[in-house]
């Protein structure tokens, strides 16, 4: 290990420095909390709000949630609204299971 400005750096297999502990934490926090959808959510959907839930009750009240899948969105059925919004890719949901095609 190497000390650098009061931070411990973790080295990879070839001795190249990786992210310091603080940089890794900042990276993880920005990736988890940085997904903010700027376009409006349609009226028939309920938007997921931040902070995202970390613990959900195991209650079966299915919702159909829309997830950001890069360039497009996809739909997935979750057991309830809490579990849907716990997935950071989900930005909105509606009551009931998704229709199969």
- Is the separation of the CB atoms in 20 and 50 below 8 Å? no
Percentage of the residues of the chain whose pLDDT score is greater than 70: 58
- At 1 the pLDDT is 44
What are the pLDDT digits (tens) for 21-45?
Answer: 554 444 444 444 444 455 567 888 9
60 has pLDDT over 70: yes
Rg (CA), the chain: 19
Q: What are phi and psi of 17, to 5 degrees?
A: -70, 140
pLDDT category at 4 given cuts 50, 70, 90 is very low
Say whether 40 sits in a helix, a strand or coil.
coil
**In terms of Cα–Cα distance, which of 60, 33, 58 is closest to 48?**
33
């Amino acid at each position: 290990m190497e000390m650098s400005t009061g931070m411990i750096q973790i080295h990879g297999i070839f001795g190249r420095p990786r992210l310091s502990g603080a940089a890794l934490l900042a990276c993880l926090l920005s990736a988890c909390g940085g997904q903010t959808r700027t376009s409006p959510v349609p009226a028939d959907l309920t938007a997921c709000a931040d902070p995202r839930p970390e613990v959900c009750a195991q209650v079966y009240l299915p919702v159909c949630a829309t997830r950001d899948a890069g360039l497009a969105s996809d739909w997935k059925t979750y057991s309830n609204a809490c579990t849907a919004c716990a997935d950071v890719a989900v930005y909105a949901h509606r009551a009931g299971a998704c229709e199969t095609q």
